[in-house]
């Protein structure tokens, strides 16, 4: 493993239970176009949101071990659920590795709201985590927080259904009660959800802000690379590679649907607690 203090030009590792983290990869690539990126989608196990802490921690740790073998210089946990469950312990386990995690952007929403009502869409595991509880406790005093887990939404997005009637109905069920309570800020607390922001905007209309944390996550990646002098030279072309523990054709189709990207992804298998190339 490389230490924080060595000059190292490996890729940035980014992972999620599935394609949600692509909303973060898209921003990291936009803000840091020279950087090589390795994306791992654990589609054999998606969704993570209803799984036990032990399971999600085991998957996250296995992915990080694999990324370390690929000599990554920084790991972005592009998944609120995995961050809620595993970020603190992974930092303790790998003190010399740089991590960027995600948590629902309650703080900016609480600062911006004028109605005092904020909606948060995230998975059950994210809502149950200590990270979320402490964020709400610290930053949302006096603000009414409405939460919804949007059952079935991750599955719809994993199926590429970002504008279907069923997806719209899931969102309507979540958002209608929030609108009735006067919500004016809605936080995407799951990295899959930014892919349905156009649909969310159609439902909530003007005057309701929808917060996608991906740009802030990418800025944090950039800050850390600058701080540890880990930026790659601009002259070379960046390599962006995609891996899945599910079917590669499925991920390739989703890369096209969600990012408009023509890519051939590579397959990984879980062998016990570890990932192996197919």
Question: Which chain residues interact with ligand DGL by CB under 6 A?
Answer: 16-18, 20, 46-49, 79-81, 123, 126, 154, 190-192
The values of phi and psi at residue 196, to 5°, are -110, 20
Taking the least distance from each CB to ligand DGL, the nearer of 22 and 230 is 22
Taking the least distance from each CB to ligand DGL, the nearer of 17 and 245 is 17
CA Rg value for the chain: 18
Taking the least distance from each CB to ligand DGL, the nearer of 20 and 119 is 20
Q: How far apart are CA 144 and CA 216, in angstroms?
A: 24
DSSP string of 75-123? EEE--HHHHHHHHHHHHHH-TTS-EE-----HHHHHHH-SSSEEEEE--
Q: Taking the complex as a whole, how short is the minimal distance between the CB of residue 257 and ligand DGL, in angstroms?
A: 16
- Residue of 75, 79, 131, 230 with catalytic role: 79
Q: Taking the complex as a whole, how short is the minimal distance between the CB of residue 189 and ligand DGL, in angstroms?
A: 7
Taking the least distance from each CB to ligand DGL, the nearer of 85 and 179 is 85
What b/e readout covers 141-153, taking b as 16+ CB neighbours within 10 angstroms? eebebbbbbbeeb
Give which of 189, 200, 44 is closest to 125, Cα–Cα: 189
The residues with which 276 forms a beta bridge, in sequence order, are: 269
Q: Taking the complex as a whole, how short is the minimal distance between the CB of residue 50 and ligand DGL, in angstroms?
A: 7
Q: Taking the complex as a whole, how short is the minimal distance between the CB of residue 87 and ligand DGL, in angstroms?
A: 12
- Residue of 190, 196, 208, 221 with catalytic role: 190
Residue 150 annotated among the catalytic residues of the structure: no
What are the catalytic residues? 79, 190
């Amino acid at each position: 493993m490389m230490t924080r203090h060595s000059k190292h030009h490996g890729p940035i590792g980014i992972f999620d239970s599935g394609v949600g983290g692509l909303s973060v990869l898209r921003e990291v690539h936009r803000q840091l176009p020279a950087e090589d990126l390795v994306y791992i989608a654990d589609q054999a196990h998606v969704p993570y949101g209803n799984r036990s802490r032990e399971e999600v921690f085991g998957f996250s740790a296995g992915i990080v071990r694999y990324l370390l073998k690929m000599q990554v210089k920084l790991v972005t946990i592009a998944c609120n659920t995995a961050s809620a469950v595993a970020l603190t312990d992974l930092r303790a386990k790998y003190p010399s590795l740089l991590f960027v995690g995600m948590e629902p952007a309650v703080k900016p929403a609480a600062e911006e709201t004028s109605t005092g009502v904020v909606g948060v869409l995230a998975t059950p595991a994210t809502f149950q985590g200590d990270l979320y509880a402490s964020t709400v406790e610290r930053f949302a005093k006096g603000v009414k927080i409405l939460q919804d887990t949007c059952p079935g939404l991750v599955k719809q997005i994993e199926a590429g259904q970002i504008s279907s009637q069923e997806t719209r109905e899931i969102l309507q069920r979540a958002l209608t009660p929030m609108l009735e309570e006067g919500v004016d800020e809605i936080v995407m607390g799951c990295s899959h959800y930014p892919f349905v922001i156009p649909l969310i905007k159609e439902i909530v209309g003007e005057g309701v802000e929808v917060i996608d944390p991906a740009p802030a996550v990418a800025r944090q990646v950039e800050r850390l690379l600058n701080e540890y002098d880990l930026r790659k030279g601009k002259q070379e072309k960046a390599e962006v590679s995609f891996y899945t523990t599910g079917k590669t054709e499925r991920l390739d189709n989703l890369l096209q649907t969600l990012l408009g990207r023509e890519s051939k992804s590579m397959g990984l298998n879980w062998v016990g607690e570890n990932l192996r190339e197919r």
